[in-house]
Each structure stands twice: as C-alpha cells, then as structure tokens.
Amino acid sequence: MQSLLVTGGMGFIGSNFIHYWKKHHPDDQIINVDLLTYAGNRDNARLFDGQVGYQFVQSDIGDEALMMKLMQGIDVVVHFAAESHVDRSIHDPGSFVRTNMVGTQILLEAARQGQVKKFIHISTDEVYGSLGAEGAFSEVTPIAPNSPYSASKAGSDLLVRAYYETYGFPAVITRCSNNYGPRQFPEKLIPLLITRALRDETIPLYGDGLNVRDWLYVDDHCSAIERVIEAGVPGEVYNVGGQNERTNLEVVQSILKLLGKPESLIQYVADRLGHDRRYAIDSSKIRRELGWTPAYSFEKGLQKTLEWYVSENEWCARIADGSYRIDKEADHR
Ligand code: NAD
Ligand code: TDX
C-alpha cells in the first residue's frame, strides 16, 4: 500500500488519474490538493467524497507550510496542478509563472524535506516548441517554448531537473501530447467543440485550421504515469504520445460527422498569437524502457469521449451556468 499526494486532482487529467488509480490500486491512500480555480471542478472527483483512503484538501500548492505538513508519510507525489490554457496565458502570464514555476518549486521543496520516494512532474510537449512538416520531439530535443504557458512549464521542468542534479531528489518528468476524454473543461478544443456543436453553436477554428496536434486519450496517459510511478528512473524524462496526428480541421470535421452536425457550424476566426504549427511526439523511450503501449485509437477514444459528454448533461449544464463552482453539499446546508 502506498500514499499518493496528487495535485490538481479536480482538473481534467488529475481527476481522471484518481479514477484510474483507485480502480487499479484500491488500497492506496490519495490526498488530492487542488485550489479549485475556474478549471477545478468538485464534480470531477465527487465519487470519492467520504471514502476511506481519500482526502480532498482545497489549497494553493504555493502554501508552503501546508505543503510541508501534507508531505509527511507520502510515498509518491503526482504533480498535475497548473494553469494549463495557452489562450489564457497570452492575456495573464503572471498567474502561469506563479503557479507553474513558483508553485512547483514550493512543492518540490516540501517533497524533498518530507523525503518522498518519487515525484512525478507532469509536463507537456509544448516545452519543445513547434515542428515543421517532418520529425517528432524526442527527450533530447532542445527546449524552445513559444507561449507564456509553455515557458512557465519549461521553467518548472528546469527546476525539477535542478532538484535532481543538486539534491539527488527522485523526480521524473513526463511530457505528453494533447489529452482528450471525459471531464475536460470546455475551453480546450475537443470539449469546446463537442459542447458547442451539441447546442448548434458555431465552432471557432483559429487561422487556417491546419495546425497539427497529436491526440492522446486520457486513460492512456494515466497508464503511462502508472508505469513511470512503478519503474520510471529518477532524473529521466519520458515523452508520452498517442501517434494520432490530426489537423484541427480534421478533428472538427470528425466530431461534427459523429454528432450528425453540419460543417457550416465551422467559423474561421483570427489566429492565436504565436500559434505553434505542429506537435508530434516520439514516445519510443517509454514504450521500450517501461513497456507502455496506448490502448485507444483516436476513433475509439473519440467515441468514448462523445458518449460521456452526451450522457453527462448535468456536468455540462453546471459548467454552462457556473454552478459547478458552488459546492453542492454546502448549498444544502
Ligand atoms: P486543468 O486546467 O484541467 O486542471 C488544473 C487543475 O489544477 C485545476 O483543478 C486547478 O484548480 C488546479 N490548480 C491550478 N492552480 C493551482 C494552484 N496554484 N494550486 C493548486 N491547484 C491548482 O489541467 P489539465 O488539462 O488536467 O492538465 C494537468 C497537467 O497536465 C498540467 O500540468 C498541464 O500542464 C499538463 N498537460 C496537459 C495536457 C492537456 O492536453 N490537457 C497536455 C500536456 C500536459
Ligand atoms: O477554439 C479553439 N479553436 C482552435 O482552433 C481552441 C480552444 C483551440 N483551437 C486550436 C488551437 C490549437 O492548435 O486547437 C488546437 C488545440 O488547442 P487547445 O485545446 O487550446 O490545446 P493546445 O493549445 O494544443 O494545448 C493543449 O495541449 C498541450 C493543452 O491545453 C495544454 O495544457 C497542453 O500542455
């Protein structure tokens, strides 16, 4: 039995990870630390409320004293908490530096002093910058971030690296491609377009719609993190990708087709500033060294994602009307 401290567990990937981990390791203890920013949604992990071996702590990872206290007896930290949306980073870079860089350093220090056995830092392929038509990012590709978001993630990666090199702190970095799946906040492309198309609203497509992303189903990301917890080597970086490269236009067209909605909903809009053209991940290292393989094709993952958004009306409605930010239990008191 192990004790995990998960940060950002009310967000998209963190909450899917807690669902995944509790299913496969039911006896493990989990402390979920999340500030509940606009991206944190208590509905995402409500299932675990009151369960033995699960505790939710609403806090900023920048609360040094509390992080020190929570680290006592923790075996593994899985650090998801971040400001994660590129468009928001263009308008408010400061909050990205505060949480992604300063917050990560505070968490690293607390974990080091608490003598945790492993620290998994969840990073992103965006730290490598943008690709031309050919090639893919490997773990030795130089870091060249282009947005305030990716720069703040790259900064956090360098702090993690420094903690390993300086103190021998047992940290591992994962860098994954674009995730999709249940519980993703509808500001990111796939949930935005599903929720808007279901309401027959227009789909904003940036620029020429031909930017390329490599899509990874969130459960495949969780199984990769599981392998890294079990066998990842401290000081190493592991890239995680789905080998599902698609242009944004192709993604939008596929989803509109699956939902039976017309392409006339697509509306071309002004491009994102500094918009990275293409991401592609070479994940041969984690496949070869840790034996990880993704289980979902893009088609299968999309199907599951669509089914989830169609069936979870209340989750979508509580985001649309803002009530997801008000705790349900507190409402009834
Ligand atoms: P998300 O925005 O859905 O969730 C982030 C969570 O962190 C939220 O619950 C939020 O309340 C919490 N949080 C934010 N600031 C905090 C703070 N100061 N203290 C405590 N909690 C705080 O993000 P996500 O998409 O689930 O991404 C999780 C991680 O994975 C991030 O580190 C992100 O950079 C990385 N990542 C995401 C993707 C993707 O496609 N979504 C791809 C690659 C890497
Ligand atoms: O309305 C939109 N229209 C559009 O054309 C939105 C929201 C996005 N886009 C484009 C921009 C990107 O080329 O779709 C692509 C995907 O955009 P996002 O969903 O915002 O993701 P991206 O910018 O690629 O970053 C994501 O993957 C890497 C996550 O948000 C990051 O947290 C992660 O690190």
- Could you list the residue range(s) of the whole structural domain that residue 109 is in? 3-270+277-328
- Whole-number Å distance, alpha carbon 156 to ligand 1 midpoint, is 13
- Whole-number Å distance, alpha carbon 244 to ligand 1 midpoint, is 22
Can you read off the two tokens belonging to residue 143?
Answer: 């870091």
230 given a catalytic annotation: no
126 given a catalytic annotation: yes
Q: Which residue in 220, 250, 239 sits closest to 136, CA to CA?
A: 239
pLDDT tens, 293-333? 999 999 999 999 999 999 999 999 999 999 999 876 554 43
Is the residue at 14 inside a domain?
yes
How many angstroms separate the Cα of 221 from the Cα of each of 62, 228, 320? 26, 11, 27
ipTM of the complex: 0.99
Return the residue whose CA atom lies nearest to atom 15 of ligand 1: 82
- Whole-number Å distance, alpha carbon 102 to ligand 1 midpoint, is 15
Closest ligand relative to 80 C-alpha: 1
Q: What rounded mean pLDDT belongs to the chain?
A: 96
Is the residue at 11 inside a domain?
yes
b/e 171-191 (16+ beta carbons within 10 angstroms → b)? bbbbbbbbbbbbbbbbebbbb
DSSP string, 141-162: SPP---SHHHHHHHHHHHHHHH
CA 157 to chain centre: 15
DSSP string, 213-230: EEEEEHHHHHHHHHHHHH
How many domains does the chain divide into?
A: 1
pLDDT tens, 96-120? 999 999 999 999 999 999 999 999 9
pLDDT tens, 170-186? 999 999 999 999 999 99
Can you read off the two tokens belonging to residue 251?
Answer: 């993604």
∠ CA 40-16-37, rounded to 5°: 10
Give strand ranges (E) for 261-329: 266-269
Residue 100 DSSP symbol: I
Spatial CB neighbours of 239, under 8 Å, sequence gap ≥ 6: 125, 137, 138, 139, 174, 175, 176, 281, 282, 283, 285, 286
Q: How confident is the model at residue 231 (pLDDT cuts 50, 70, 90)?
A: very high
CATH of the domain at 92: 3.40.50.720
Residue among 60, 126, 157, 226 flagged as catalytic = 126
Percentage of the chain beyond pLDDT 70 is 98
CA–CA dist 173, 175 (Å, integer): 7
Question: Half-sphere exposure (CA, 13 Å, Cβ side) for 79?
Answer: 36
Can you read off the two tokens belonging to residue 295?
Answer: 């289980």
125 given a catalytic annotation: yes
Return the residue whose CA atom lies nearest to atom 43 of ligand 1: 124
Is the residue at 140 inside a domain?
yes
CA–CA dist 242, 79 (Å, integer): 21
Is the residue at 203 inside a domain?
yes
Residue 134 DSSP symbol: S
The pLDDT of 1-16, averaged and rounded, is: 98
Is the residue at 333 inside a domain?
no
